Structure 1
């Protein structure tokens, strides 16, 4: 519209404003801008292309081969959760394994990757759980020869597990950390002897960090799989790996709260469910048993209690903090000071609709496979009403 002089007033485009501002600067600063701004644009584009930004809720791809049986009402169900430490084995002290972040090793050898794959296959064939919840599987990571480790397991176990699904929680084409300097890829993997109809990835709350670091950091998740049960019901199997090294922040509490919210929804809907994974949370009573230099990674008042109060779990709080708690230790640190498993970090939580039959941590022949040990639970599914 006309201004006071009678001439139309037209707003200057942003580019003109920027140009006038630049021209008003002293010549040395203008030259610096001409160099810095293009470099900054290239850096932003490079970081964007190398990193991964998952949505809060995404569908997860499901793979099933051939005719796959459905679960039956009232049948026995065996579930295992296991953090397989990207098939690295137990001959290393990795740089992140020590409280100071100064461990000597950066990656396992190709030979050890092959041996550990054989060992994981051996244990799974021996146990033959119906549902396997695996954490720390690598995919296209420099530190593990760019293997797709879930695919390697599937190729060796296709007769047992025709169905699988997966969800990444770390992915980048290049991480500029001096102990990495290459690609990373880490995911949750769920194997099933029975049909998986669908699956989804739910983003967990993340560690607080600056905008640049956030692009390269782990993005923990819940991998939720839906297994039909003949007659119209379904089993919801949830696989997860909570954050580590999060003390001084409320990240663990927020991850517990989101997980609890999902479980409460399933309870309200009268769903049958099981959740397993490496929660990186101590049961009450174990904090005091740890060496002092290990305590800084955990809260003395464990966030685990919020889940343990609501839902049955393996191991139970009584088992994990009682006189026989060593039978329920699931973590054997890659620390020269540790002579064996010394804490519980891995759990199975389950719906009250499941009838528990038996549970254990397989310790006797798994100590050299991973820094975590497999937790196994057996249940009866609810009978058809």
Structure 2
């Protein structure tokens, strides 16, 4: 009887090994491998030309695939969940996010974690939803997460993911380029991870120059922030090239660092500093560039537990870095109590000198 049980156990283990091997071969074969640069399509590019001296408002918002509302945690951050709680809740979150964008009324929006066709957001095309609900804006989308199946957590896996960055604009643009960021996790983790990138959008200015708008989302859970260091080095080189051209630069998004000029411990919390959060490195070099953040309003919460005011660790990781030829008029974090996303949006007002 014992020999028979051991034989069956052996067959079960062998079957599992074969299934896992076939799965790893499959995800490796179909792994999304974007080139270094991709020219992106822009829809509804009918905006006005940018004018030197006129205020330009930009809002950055990581919408958390409209699934990371107040009641959610996330397995990568120490929680247990990997999907939105329901299709209805996802639709409610997305509707509220749309209303927030409408009320903010910015010229430009930099959105991260916008799903196209993902199990975690019930296959709602959030890019189409937001683009259609904001018809006066042009829209440009770039993939940064495309995986046929993420098998964890085991009991309720994340499943298929197709997601990325969305830039919305009321200004006429000339091009939008997806730049692949360096630094990858090892095999097979990378096959189920994001392919980090940024969108560089170019807008002509009436003085003959260009505004280069960057929509970015850096890595988060890389040990010791080593991959983030590579990504920031790439950005520093990109900044240098554009500065030499005399371009205006506004770089915004989810930096996944505690940004300069902000003090996370300033916010009331019962939790310790999370392991994934790094201070922005002092070695980063961008001469004359200025940070535009709101240190008084947290832009992100921890996701190991649902949101509880005064309990979750809070920080400012969303904001803007702008070139010396841009005047910062104001920066405002929107305190939405993380009702529909694990992030709060941030709006900056700028003038091109």
Q: Give the TM-score, by structure 2 length.
A: 0.84
Which residue number in structure 1 is paired with residue 240 of structure 2? Answer: 264
Residue of structure 2 in register with 1:225 after alignment: 201
Q: 1:349 aligns with which of 321, 325, 335?
A: 321
What is the match of residue 5 of structure 1? none
CA distance 1:198–1:304, change in 2 (3 Å): farther
Larger deviation, residues 338-347 vs 248-257 = 338-347
SS where residue 169 of structure 1 aligns? strand
Specify whether residues 304 and 369 from structure 1 end up closer, same or farther in structure 2 by C-alpha distance, changes over 3 A only.
farther
Aligned to 2:284: 306
Match of 1:96, SS state, is: helix
- 1:71 paired residue number: 50
Give, in whole Å, the separation in 1 of the partners of 2:44 and 2:274. 43
TM norm structure 1: 0.77
Q: Is the 8 A contact 1:361 1:374 kept in 2?
A: yes
Alpha-carbon deviation of 1:302?
3.5
Q: Matches of 1:40 and 1:358 in 2, distance apart?
A: 52
Q: Distance in 1 between matches of 2:329 and 2:25?
A: 54
- Structure 1 residues 353 and 181, CA, compared in 2 at 3 Å: closer, same or farther? closer
CA distance, structure 2, for counterparts of residue 119 and residue 40 of structure 1? 40
Query: Per-residue displacement from partner, 1:203-243 (whole Å, max 9, x unpaired)?
Result: 11233312x33222211101111112234322110000111
Closer/same/farther in 2, CA of residues 181 and 378 from structure 1, 3 Å limit = closer
Shift in Å, 1:310: 4.8
Q: Secondary structure at the match of 1:218?
A: coil
Report if the CA contact (8 A) 2:144-2:196 is conserved. Answer: yes
Contact 2:47 2:169 in 1 (8 A): no
In structure 2, the partner of 1:205 is 182
Contact 1:142-1:184 within 8 A present in 2 as well: yes
Find the aligned partners of 2:323 and 2:345 in 1 and give their Cα distance.
20
RMSD: 2.7
Query: Across the two proteins, how many residue pairs are aligned to each other?
Result: 327
Assess if the C-alpha contact under 8 Å between 1:132 and 1:191 holds in 2.
yes
Structure 1, unaligned stretches of length 5 or more? 1-37, 321-326
Alpha-carbon distance change, 132 to 304 in structure 1, aligned in 2, over 3 angstroms: farther
Counterpart mapping for 1:1-385 below 5 A: 46-48=26-28, 50-64=30-44, 67-88=46-67, 89-98=69-78, 102-104=79-81, 106-159=83-136, 161=137, 163-177=138-152, 178=154, 179-180=156-157, 182-210=159-187, 212-248=188-224, 250-283=226-259, 286=263, 293-299=272-278, 302-303=280-281, 306=284, 310-315=288-293, 320=295, 327-334=296-303, 335-336=305-306, 338-339=308-309, 342-363=314-335, 365=336, 367-382=338-353
Checking the alignment, whether the CA contact within 8 Å between 1:252 and 1:303 is kept in structure 2 is: no
Q: Aligned pair in 2 of structure 1 residues 293, 209: CA closer, same or farther (>3 Å)? A: farther
Deviation at 1:138, TM superposition (A): 0.8
The gaps in structure 2 that reach 5 residues or longer are 1-17
8 Å CA contact 2:209, 2:246 repeated in 1: no
Change (3 A) 1:250 1:118: same
Deviations 1:28-84 (A, max 9, x none): xxxxxxxxxx9999767633553211111221222225x432212221100111111
Residue 128 of structure 1: CA displacement?
A: 0.7
